[in-house]
A = this chain, B = another copy of it.
Amino acid sequence: MSRPTPLSGFPEWLPRERIVEQQVLDRLRRTFELWGFAPLETRSVEPLDQLLRKGEIDKEVYVLRRLQADPDDAGDSGLALHYDLTVPFARYVLERSGHLQFPVKRYQIQRCWRGERPQEGRYREFTQADIDVVGAGELPFHYEAELPLVVFDALSALPLPPVRMMVNNRKLSQGFFRSLGLEDLAGVLRIVDKLDKIGPDAVADALRAETGAGDSQAKAVLEFASIRSEDASFADRVRGLAGSDDPLLTEGIDELVRVVEAAREHAPGMLVADLRIARGLDYYTGTVYETELLGHADLGSVCSGGRYDNLASSGSDVYPGVGLSIGVTRLLSRVFSRSLVTASRGVPTCVVVALPDESRRAECDRVAAALRRRGIPVEVAPTAAKYGKQIRYADRRGIPFVWFPQDDGGHEVRDIRSGEQVPADPASWAPPPSDLMPVLEASAE
């Protein structure tokens, strides 16, 4: 077998990187659970026709085929890997609604697959961490203000660059465009969404050409899209630009004010109303979110989502929801490529028990068992090599302590960083708490 090479778009981490990923996921999970979100997973596959219903990404879907499919077994034909966690969760809610308590608050941390052209921040296999709240029939607005706070709690507990979440509201945008007399709301939204890519002049041209906007309407839309504010002051500016009173606009403004004010109280400076934000997906109906890792805008949004009223429905039963999705792999790809965070070691092991002689392995195993019983991760040295080599075994992995059984039945333990060696009892010795497990450290950029 020749030495294999990596597959573009299918990232794999080294052990020390995986420890960073795992601790990031642990922190996300911990925070989600503190807010009452229950863990949930869905299968990795969905019927292809269900996936294609939801959007324009058909060419990016991976379809499955059994290598030697049995012709009379159609059970897994037409299956494809999911490309996000929102569509599978909406399907799960419909399928299991009789077994669920609404509103359902769930988090879901899983891999997704898209056959996109790989580049930094864009992978063919990637992990998303989603939170959603879904109601039966109705869902109170306040969850749209709550979800950003959960994400802020989760991300600010990590040694990452700060994030800023940009928030808008579909009702506000559509109400505003309607107040100007523009009727093709979806069309205007789609054009405004291109502002970053094509610039204001091209947006104005497109508005005039494709939505029948006049000069003053196009100007008002551009001015509207330039509004950013960390407090409720955007509300008056929007009202000043609006062509007329519009109940949808009023509702959208009120909602966005509540989102901004909740964030200002809970996590000042992390959320900004940004009326340029549109989000591509058609199914959003209220608040929409995008999130920038500060100093890394080129990476794209690391946490996005929104309110959706019509994603899951069956006959007259509708299940409106709101969700946010953290792009874990995108975030980590930047963390690793720029060495933003490192783990203090690449293994969980805190102590290596040195082996004086292979005949004393059982004795060393007992020392290890005694330490493990008190929650200390321990390995016994792989071979009875010279002590220098056994210490190097620990040192190369970043393991802080080496334990030496003495010939008289006593024990000593050495902190190999300082060289300090002290007598120790397997039944009571413990490392400093900060050495017990690997910890994450922010690196100077």
Contact = CB atoms under 8 A, between A and B. Distances in A.
A76 B124 contact: yes
Interface in A43-83: 43-45, 47-48, 50, 53, 58-69, 73, 75-76, 79-81
Contact of A314 (B1, B14, B35, B50): B1
Nearest to A384: B140
Interface in A349-397: 349, 361-362, 365, 369, 372, 375-379, 382-383, 393, 396-397
Contacts of A377: 33-36
A13 B41 contact: yes
B81 A64 contact: yes
A84 to B, nearest CB: 16
Interface in A251-284: 262, 265-266
Given A38-B19, A64-B64, A372-B35, A96 B14 contact: yes
Given A61-B67, A92-B12, A379 B115 contact: no
Given A12-B92, A15-B38, A35-B372, A7 B396 contact: no
A89 B67 CA distance: 22
Contact of A68 (B5, B59, B81, B266): B59
A66 B36 contact: no
A80 B7 CA distance: 12
A111 interface: yes
B3 A314 contact: yes
A91 interface: yes
A5 B124 CA distance: 28
Contacts of A38: 15, 18-19, 346-348
